[in-house]
Structure 1
Amino acid sequence: MRPALLRLDSFSSGPAEAAQMAAAIGREEAFRHGYEKGLEDGREISLDALTRALAGLRQEIQASQEREAALRRDVLGALTPVLHAIVDLLGPRSEKERLRVALAEEVARIVEHAPERALIVRCPGDLHPDLADCLDSARFPQVRIENLPAGRDMVELVGGQGTITFDPSLVTTGLKAIIDDIETED
């Protein structure tokens, strides 16, 4: 009989493979754990950085909007007196022509709808020649021009019980109100 040969490789390979397997599993688990931890920490750091960046951006936008509003207020504050001065200078120069046109249109309507009606026109003395030309061109038969009291720069048409008032200063006042509304819009 021969003694059975001992195979040394069978004794040595078993525990070595198990140790290698255990080490490989340990490495994989350590890698997975490290990967998950790194991913979680990275996300947290990224979210924190993004939150800080968005907060900084919000502050920059708010500061920019405040600077823009202050600049707009300054520009409008400087521009408003200039616009008022332009309206004050140009308004009176065009009042007479606007008044003539409006009066001619209204007299034409009165002639069309009530040609037999007597009409009284009240206006400042310096407008009498202009109004007389306007009324002559409309061929209104029964017109009497009267003076308004001093300080009233308007024209009144009185026919029967109705009165129509043309106040050219209302245009200037209206333009100034629009300019003031633009300034207070903020």
Structure 2
Amino acid sequence: MWQTDRACGTRPQDHIQIQIQIRALRFGQTLRSKFTNISVECSHEFCSSIRGWLTEKGELNLDIQLNGTLRNGLRTTITLLQLIDGQNRFQTLFSYDMDTCKTLRELLQSSLMKVWLRNVFKYGNLANRCPIKPAYYDVRNFQLENHSIPGYLPSGFYRLHDTNYYGKPKGRHRRPVATFILDIKFY
């Protein structure tokens, strides 16, 4: 705890307010999550099949039969949107576009993405480096761990949009690989 010096002109109520604000930041609310919907697509150039479904508990399952090798140059855009009015209107909270292979190589050194990726790898046999060879990949009963949900997000409904492609981030001629759209409830 900090002590205030009355001679500096602070009032006791200021001291109490500062303590409350610091405690709120330090011991923020821990949210839980539940997936509420999933949509998956994969280009026939790279996949012969892809399937996503949710368990009754809102856990995610994926089956992916990758037939083409994914090499350097693969890019991923991850966008998190928040439902703002309950009527299918979403506001973008953040969007990251990254070199997928470089990101996997660096394993996202201390970032929120690193926490998310490690969480995903625990639930399946997804490749964690490039080139990603043709094989059967799966995820079973995946759920976001409480510590992987940013404390600054309020409870509510969100959409995570993950697009994988070859091409330039702002280019018009993208070669699609796969798209995953997940609706999530934080509570």
TM-score, structure 1 normalization = 0.26
Q: Which has the higher contact order (CA 8 A, sep 6+)?
A: 2
Which one has the largest radius of gyration?
1
TM-score, structure 2 normalization = 0.26
